[in-house]
Chains A and B, each alone.
Chain A
Amino acid sequence: GENVEQHPSTLSVQEGDSAVIKCTYSDSASNYFPWYKQELGKRPQLIIDIRSNVGEKKDQRIAVTLNKTAKHFSLHITETQPEDSAVYFCAASEDNFNKFYFGSGTKLNVKP
């Protein structure tokens, strides 16, 4: 089955700096890659996603890049703000099966 690895496990940045979280996957059949943000005690919420026919997607301060050949994808947050502090999870799935394989999470701390 699919194996998703996520790094780093914790990331601390100063407000205004950029943050990058990286994930790798093992199954070349995976073609959908969502990123979820989970605040303490809250439900995971989708912040951005990318499909395998696209190399990059951007939404305001958030961007995701995908390298299918290397089987890795990354989340980029620019101009970080304290409210970006949360745990971020990457995931991978195949369209036909839909279940998500999640990474182990990155705890992002943005210091004011």
Chain B
Amino acid sequence: GAGVSQSPRYKVAKRGQDVALRCDPISGHVSLFWYQQALGQGPEFLTYFQNEAQLDKSGLPSDRFFAERPEGSVSTLKIQRTQQEDSAVYLCASSLERLAGYNEQFFGPGTRLTVL
């Protein structure tokens, strides 16, 4: 079956530009997560949705970062006025059902963002 997909796979932006990164989770998955992975590091949590509700955005590094999931499926991570330190791979993950205690998160291939 189809896994988590993300687009674009690569994005080059000039400093100051706005970018939008898209995540298509596995169909029927309730939970959706965004992580930021700097080069040579482990993924770091950004934000979490349960259906359309954003339940945790404690990992968003600044108010330039904004995420939404308006219909409880596709999610978009938007970064305004990009800075060089935003350069990283942005990973999206989805999981089936939080309350059932089933924790496996399925990851997408990521979007590699390079800010020049």
The residue in A4, A6, A46 that gathers the most chain B C-beta atoms within 10 A of its C-beta is A46
How distant is the Cα of A34 from the Cα of B95 in the complex, in angstroms? 13
DSSP majority for the A interface? strand
Interface Cβ pair total, 8 Å cutoff: 59
How many interface residues does B have (CB within 8 Å)?
A: 26
Q: Are B56 and A103 in contact (CB under 8 A)?
A: no
A interface residue numbers (CB < 8 A to B): 4, 6, 32, 34, 36, 42-46, 49, 89, 91, 93, 95, 97-105
Q: Are B104 and A99 in contact (CB under 8 A)?
A: no
How distant is the Cα of A98 from the Cα of B29 in the complex, in angstroms? 14
Q: Are A99 and B103 in contact (CB under 8 A)?
A: no
Q: Which residue of A lies closest to B38 (CB)?
A: A104
Interface 1/0s, chain B 39-53, versus A by CB < 8 A?
011111100100000
